[in-house]
Amino acid sequence: MTIEDSIGYYFKNKAYLEEALTHTSYANEHGIKSNEKLEYLGDSILEFVSSEFLYNNFPKLNEGELTKLRAMVVCEESLYQVAMKHKFFDYIRVGNSEKVYGNNYKEAILADSVEAVIAAIFFDGGFEESKKFILDNLTDKMYEASKHIGQKDYKTVLQEELQKNGDVKIKYTIVSESGPDHLKMFVSEVSVDGRFLANGKGHSKKLAEMQAAKKALEVLK
């Protein structure tokens, strides 16, 4: 399966795709164009498409809530997940300064390449094709994120629960991390006044802490 098979779009001009998958480090070493300008345009297209979708599909949310929801979706972590889904790491060209064992590239490099591909599709096939790519990959994420709008996160709820009867010391500690750089798994432990409550896992330290707080709330029920 090629990257075009995976993303569901076949380029008429393959040069757009090659440019979108060319990191600055590689471009500098070989004297060719990098994906920086495509990334710049792709970021704007992504913001517009997601804003339009949220405006049309979540009419009860106010401007602040729509902005918060968009930020939850149009972020490095979401775009990184899109890149991993389509195995961009097998196709992106990076310079020696960024090469690591096993294609374990930085999340930012892969996330930025998704924005560049959005712009590449726009130039090759037009706005509707780039919009289709965005919505095919992020619609589920937008609906999932919408469930949390207006709700307090688990860490806030846990803090309020534990401090109902006075101040206590709540501490989150990353106790382990494993896996390759592009797919790290963190384990966080939450304790109160030195007493262990629960632990949680996630692909970022923040997510691991949230899962630990969620499990702690379940323990306290």
Residue 174, beta-bridge partner list = 188
Chain position carrying tokens 């972590």: 77
Q: Which of 19, 39, 112, 115 is catalytic?
A: 115
Q: Is the CB of residue 39 less than 8 Å from the CB of residue 47?
A: no
Which is catalytic among the residues 43, 107, 124, 189? 43
Q: Is 115 a catalytic residue?
A: yes
Tell me the backbone φ, ψ of residue 88, rounded to 5 degrees: -60, -30
User: How would you class 214 by CB atoms within 10 Å of its CB: exposed for 0-12, middle for 13-18, buried for 19 or more?
Assistant: middle
Q: Are 186 and 177 in contact (CB under 8 A)?
A: yes
Instruction: State yes or no: is 193 an active-site residue.
Output: no
- Rounded to an integer, what distance in angstroms lies between the CA atom of residue 50 and that of residue 44? 10
* Catalytic positions: 43, 115
